[in-house]
Amino acid sequence: MAEILHLGASSLTGKSVNALVEEAFGKSEFPLALRLTNHTPRHLVFPDVRAELKPNFNAPDNQIEVTFKDHAQLTRFASDLDSLSELNQWADAMALDVLDDGQPDEAVAKVPAAGKGQKKVAAEPKSSTGASADDAANTDKK
């Protein structure tokens, strides 16, 4: 496994997260599989990469394997993390490390293009379209 990249608030670390990501993964081939580890005391959600991480005291649920489809998606993720870190003053918010060869494994590769891959199998979320239609129908009957 390669070295681990720690990201946090740019103002506290003195280093731009985008520059750190570019230095670490700028020449990598995509899609790129990374393990994200949440070091914050907060539940973090990143919809762009479909990642949901538990707080740091909920190990091992504070880790997730994500496949970034391109460099732009990884850069957006890093910018989002930087913004959250600045707001909350986190110097070490998250660790990113490359999985083995940096390519998605079979389980991660089967996930849709948005790029979520977890070791645990999660239940599919229920569609909310039926529930909202039922609610609307109930309010119209009054």
pLDDT, residue 125, reads: 41
Place of tokens 């991660």: 108
Asked if 13 and 75 count as a contact pair (C-beta separation under 8 A), the reply is no
20/105: higher pLDDT: 20
- Give the model confidence (pLDDT) of 72-107 as tens digits: 999 999 999 999 999 999 999 999 999 876 555 554
The SS3 of residue 142 is coil
Where in the chain are the domains?
5-140
Burial 100-119 (b: 16+ CB within 10 A, else e): eebbbeeebeebeeebbbbe
In angstroms, the first-to-last Cα distance of the chain is 62
> What CA–CA distance (Å, rounded) separates 129 from 142?
21
Question: Could you tell me the pTM of the whole model?
Answer: 0.69
Could you give the maximum distance between any two Cα atoms of the chain, in Å?
Answer: 62
> What CA–CA distance (Å, rounded) separates 141 from 25?
57
Is the pLDDT reported for residue 29 higher than 90? yes
